């Protein structure tokens, strides 16, 4: 039996930190614990959010597994996928990306199909976000036949409604994925596409499909309609090259969601969507798939793992492909270190070995030069002919300038002599007024300080009550770029759920007034 699992982990380092991995040397043990808990021969992670320079050896090299990463080249802490294979399921080939532009000279999967509809710039952009890793395995089917099996681990783009160019990017990625998968099928290879496809296919796969405008007309859903076969197999129904493994076993299962909103706490009421899939070619699913499953009890991400069990055995390769992370220069011990360039390398002549005459002559010249430099007389501290000038000498008046006669100007009387002297009564009144002004200034200052510390120590103003439950709301902040970015607002504190459930959120919303 071969067990495969896919999980959008939403940051592999953050997941390890939540398990208490603070020391990098312990991360390998914690990651191995996660892999063993998933209990799969092949584990595919999406949204690892690890770039090449941030990849550490405990994440890359795990005992008993060989791993294959794809990194985002356009943005740090973004996207990224990784496939971990047990040593008993070591692939015969591995490749990063769908277009073949990042393929190694040896150890790549091949079979790219006709990609002439894309330019080289488009292909490079589609593969530069680290969204696909391919591993090819040699398998024995239940009939005893030996065939290649290619797993395509994908993290498909999300289409932001406010960015129409991202929808175009997403559909281009879908098209490129289909071209590559169909090319592998045409070459006689079994194919499994697994990962986060970022589209809920049918209304049964979404918690609130009825409220979404033109649900069936979504371009991503139309693409899935063309890729997948109709499970009902009615006369005239579409027969695509792939099948949805979970719907093959559970065609009417409701509430089978794999992704929930963390902000609204929708996982508490299972109010989400099914975005993660294990797709296989028709022959493979009908003949070898034994089960498909979801693991909603596994926490740590806004997605849950999905997987399948196949009735086949994997023949491990004798050596890992070149894409394996243990072959990276920084982990394989072949990367040159900076100390190798800074430490002088001295070679002493062997005992009894004759030294060439020209080397002896060079050494004598160096010794004579050293003697000449060392015998040079040092400068005397005192008695030098040319004394260094002091900095203050530049600010003293020059002696060579002629002395000018000093012109005495008539002295003016002081200003106080024109002021009429005050009487004793006026002095008393002025002193009383000054004292009253100083006292009032001190009192005003104390009042201002008191009000300030009261505002600081009293904390923020109490949150308003939601209209549905009359409970204090929670405050959120807008992080999406736009005119409201950075603004605070209040929403109902209860988790999001079905609208007819009174215990779920009442959808209360209120902007916070600026202080």
DSSP conformation letters of 347-415: -PPPTTPPPPHHHHHHHHHHHHHHHHHHTSPPPPSS--SSPPPPGGGGTSPPTTSPPPPPPPPPPPPPG
Tell how far CA 161 is from the center of its chain.
Answer: 22
Q: Report residue 270 as tokens.
A: 């299972």
Residue-level pLDDT at 402: 53
Q: What is the DSSP letter of 453?
A: H
- HEC-encoded secondary structure of 285-310: HHHHEEEEEECCCCCCCCECCEEEEE
Residue-level pLDDT at 499: 82
**Residue 435 host element (H or E):** helix 424-457
| Domain range summary for the chain, segments of one domain joined by + | 2-332, 462-514
Give the span between the Cα atoms of 353 and 396, in whole angstroms: 71
| Pairing status of strand 2-8 against strand 42-46 | parallel
Instruction: Note the pLDDT tens digit of each residue in 285-328.
Output: 999 999 999 999 999 999 999 999 999 999 999 999 999 999 99
Q: Is the pTM of this model over 0.85?
A: no
Q: CATH for 2-332, among 3.40.47.10, 3.90.25.10, 3.40.50.2020, 3.60.10.10?
A: 3.60.10.10
Q: Which residues are annotated as a binding site?
A: 8, 47, 196, 198, 302-303
Q: How far apart are the first and last CA of the chain?
A: 63
Give the span between the Cα atoms of 6 and 15, in whole angstroms: 15
Give the span between the Cα atoms of 96 and 73, in whole angstroms: 12
β-strand partners of 42 = 4, 85
Cα dihedral angle (414, 417, 418, 421), rounded to 10 degrees?
140
From the list 128, 68, 58, 67, the residue with the least C-alpha distance to 97 is 128
Q: What are the residue numbers of the active site?
A: 155, 196, 303
Residue-level pLDDT at 351: 52
3-state SS class at 14: helix
Q: Report residue 70 as tokens.
A: 């794809």
Q: Give the residues of the chain that fall short of pLDDT 70.
A: 18-28, 105, 232-237, 333-387, 396-437, 458-459, 515
Q: Which residues are annotated as a binding site for Mg(2+)?
A: 8, 47, 196, 198, 302-303
Residue-level pLDDT at 408: 57
Give the span between the Cα atoms of 257 and 275, in whole angstroms: 8
Instruction: Note the pLDDT tens digit of each residue in 198-251.
Output: 999 999 999 998 888 788 899 999 999 999 998 765 555 678 999 999 999 999
């Amino acid at each position: 039996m071969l067990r495969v699992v896919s999980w959008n982990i939403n940051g592999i380092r953050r997941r390890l930190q939540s398990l208490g991995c603070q020391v990098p040397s312990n991360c390998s043990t914690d990651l191995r614990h996660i892999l063993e808990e998933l209990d799969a021969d092949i584990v595919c992670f999406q949204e690892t959010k690890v770039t090449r320079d941030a990849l550490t050896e405990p994440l890359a090299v795990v005992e008993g597994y060989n791993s294959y990463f794809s990194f985002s080249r356009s943005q740090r802490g973004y996207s990224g996928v990784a496939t971990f294979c047990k040593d008993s399921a070591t692939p015969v080939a591995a490749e990063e990306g769908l277009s073949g532009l990042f393929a190694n000279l040896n150890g790549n999967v091949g079979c790219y199909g006709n990609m002439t509809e894309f330019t080289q710039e488009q292909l490079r952009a589609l593969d530069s976000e680290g969204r696909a890793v391919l591993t090819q395995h040699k398998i024995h089917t239940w009939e005893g036949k030996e065939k290649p099996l290619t797993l395509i681990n994908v993290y498909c783009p999300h289409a932001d409604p406010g960015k129409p160019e991202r929808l175009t990017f997403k559909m281009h990625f879908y098209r490129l994925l289909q071209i590559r998968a169909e090319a592998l099928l045409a070459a006689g290879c079994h194919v499994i596409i697994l990962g986060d496809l970022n589209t809920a296919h049918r209304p049964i796969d979404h918690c609130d499909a009825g409220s979404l405008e033109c649900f069936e007309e979504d371009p991503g859903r139309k693409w899935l309609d063309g890729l997948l076969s109709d499970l009902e197999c009615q006369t005239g129904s579409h027969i695509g090259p792939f099948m949805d493994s979970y719907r093959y076993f559970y065609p009417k299962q409701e509430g089978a969601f794999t992704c929930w909103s963390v902000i609204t706490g929708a996982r508490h009421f299972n109010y989400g969507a099914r975005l993660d899939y294990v797709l296989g070619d028709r022959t493979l699913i009908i003949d070898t798939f034994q089960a498909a499953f979801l693991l909603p009890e596994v926490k740590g991400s806004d997605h849950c793992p999905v997987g399948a069990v196949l009735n086949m055995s994997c023949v491990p390769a004798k050596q890992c492909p070149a894409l394996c992370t243990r072959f990276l220069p920084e982990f394989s011990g072949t990367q040159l270190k900076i100390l190798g360039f800074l430490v002088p390398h001295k070679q002493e002549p062997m005992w009894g070995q004759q030294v060439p005459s020209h080397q002896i002559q060079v050494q004598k010249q160096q010794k004579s030069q050293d003697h000449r430099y060392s015998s040079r007389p040092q400068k005397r501290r005192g008695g030098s002919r040319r004394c260094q000038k002091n900095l203050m000498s530049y600010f003293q008046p020059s002696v060579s300038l002629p002395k000018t006669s000093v012109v005495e100007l008539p002295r003016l009387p002081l200003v106080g002599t024109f002021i009429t002297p005050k009487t004793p009564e006026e002095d008393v009144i002025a002193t009383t007024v000054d004292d009253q002004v100083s006292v009032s200034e001190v009192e005003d200052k104390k009042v201002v300080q008191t009000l300030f510390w009261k505002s600081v120590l009293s904390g923020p103003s109490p949150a308003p009550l939601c209209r549905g439950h009359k409970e204090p709301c929670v405050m959120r902040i807008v992080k999406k770029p736009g005119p409201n970015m950075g603004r605070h607002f209040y929403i109902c504190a209860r988790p999001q759920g079905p609208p007819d459930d009174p215990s779920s959120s009442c959808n209360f919303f209120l902007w916070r007034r600026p202080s």
